[in-house]
Amino acid sequence: MSPSPTGEVLISSERLAGRVTELGAQISRDYADKDLVMVGVLRGAVVFIADLLRSLDVACEIDFMAVSSYGSSRDSSGVVRILKDLDDSITGRDVLIVEDIVDSGLTLNYLMRNLRARDPASLEVCALLTKPERRRVDVPIRYTGFEIPNTFVVGYGLDHAQQYRHLAHVAELPEDVDPGSGTR
Ligand code: 5GP
């Protein structure tokens, strides 16, 4: 694969677009008769949810949450603070959490427990990326974009110290950059 201004390109923009289209078709079929609300997790999922939304052909609302997990971006602690809550109620609605990447699973595990307590009609997860090797808690991911190896990635909304979100592809960080200092 070709090098990029960051590290090695892991997933090209063409592959991302193709997979997002597939996920959109699958979600459209599954939610044809439902009351879908997609909940984007700020800030990393912004690019993904924007593309996913446009690949749907069912009615859908979107809302956003921002959370910060204590610890470095590389190793989340599982203790999560809500920085921005949903604007609207999800009680009785069909909620799909849209995440950028599931690493240990601790953030998502917290989010699912928090949102389930609000009595949605259903609660599922769509994650663009997942790193199965790093999982510390089992979280049910209904829709997965790509499984990736245990490496720190940026681009397509994902950052390192707030940089690289604009890249149209997903790339590895170069080896000389310490991933430990990043943020959500
Ligand atoms: P978890 O709680 O699953 O360990 O962490 C999930 C969050 O950690 C993601 O939403 C993301 O903000 C951050 N994260 C985990 N792995 C990566 C990565 O490879 N790159 C970036 N940019 N963020 C990551």
- Is 55 contained in some domain? yes
The atom of ligand 1 lying closest to the CA of 164 is 22
Q: Is residue 44 part of a domain?
A: yes
Q: What is the CATH number of the domain that holds 58?
A: 3.40.50.2020
Q: List residues with catalytic annotation.
A: 103
4 located within any domain: no
Ligand 1 centroid – CA 32 distance (Å)? 31
In a domain, 180, yes or no: no
Q: How far apart are CA 98 and CA 46, in angstroms?
A: 9
Percentages helix, strand, coil for the chain, rounded to the nearest 5?
25, 30, 45
* pLDDT one-digit tens code per residue, 54-85: 999 999 999 999 998 766 556 666 778 999 99
Query: Does 2 map to a domain?
Result: no
C-alpha 137 – ligand 1 centre gap (Å): 14
User: Using a 6 Å cutoff on CB, does residue 105 contact ligand 1?
Assistant: yes
CA of 117 to the centre of ligand 1 (A): 24
Ligand 1 atom closest to the CA of 102, numbered from 1: 3
Q: For the segment 18-44, what is each residue's pLDDT rounded down to a tens digit?
A: 999 999 999 999 999 999 999 999 999
Closest residue CA from atom 16 of ligand 1 = 103
Q: How many domains does the chain have?
A: 1
43 upstream amide cis, omega within 30 of 0: yes
Whole-prediction pTM: 0.93
Q: Which of 77, 108, 148, 158 to mutate to test the pocket of ligand 1 (most atoms within 8 A of CB)?
A: 158
143: domain range? 9-172
Residue located nearest, by CA, to atom 10 of ligand 1: 101
Does 26 map to a domain?
Answer: yes
Q: Is the CB of 10 under 6 A from ligand 1?
A: no
Q: Residue with the nearest Cα to atom 15 of ligand 1?
A: 103
CB atoms within 10 A of CB 97: 23
Q: Which pLDDT band holds residue 14 (cuts at 50, 70, 90)?
A: very high
In a domain, 1, yes or no: no
| Contact 6 CB / ligand 1 (< 6 Å) | no
> In sequence order, what are the residues at sequence separation of 6 or more whose Cβ sits closer than 8 angstroms to the Cβ of residue 67?
41, 80, 81, 82, 83, 107, 110, 111, 184
In a domain, 160, yes or no: yes
The proportion of the chain whose per-residue pLDDT surpasses 90, expressed as a percent, equals 82
Cβ(43)–Cβ(34) under 8 Å?
A: no
